[in-house]
Amino acid sequence: MGKIKPLNKLLRFFVFLTTISTLSIPLFAEDELWLSGKVLTYDNKTGRIEIEVTTESCPGKRVFKTTPGLLRDALVGKEVHFGVDTIRCEPGKTYRITTNILEGVKP
């Protein structure tokens, strides 16, 4: 009978831990849409970047907001892979690029 109490406490602890971790996942999860395309223009003063997106979920010319001050020549004309701050793409909206776009440049 003495071994049942420690096992019962251990079971309660695991149930508690599982509940807390399951409930906290939505608090820390960020929804992003991952896209690919070719950079058409980039304004290094404002961070405005126009990309011809080739990903099926968001095809066509799209304008995004990214970090200003990047080297224009490192981006324009290059294929890039990047994440944006949405899970769906709506025409006419400008989304913020959430990933380091220079890391997504395809050589």
For the chain, the structural domain boundaries read: 1-29, 33-104
* pTM of the model as a whole: 0.70
pLDDT digits (tens, 9 = 90+) for 52-77: 999 998 999 999 999 999 999 999 99
**pLDDT score at 11:** 75
Q: If you classify domain 33-104 with CATH, what class do you get?
A: mainly beta
Distance CA 95, CA 63 (A): 7
> Which ranges of the chain have pLDDT less than 70?
1-4, 6-7, 17, 19-30, 107
Residues 12/57, Cβ–Cβ less than 8 Å: no
Q: Are strands 95-96 and 60-65 parallel, antiparallel or unpaired?
A: parallel
Q: How many CA atoms lie within 13 A of 5 on its CB side?
A: 2
Identity of residue 29:
A
- The pLDDT score that the predictor gives to residue 10 is 73
76 contacts 51 by C-beta, under 8 angstroms:
no
C-beta of residue 58 within 8 angstroms of C-beta of residue 91: no
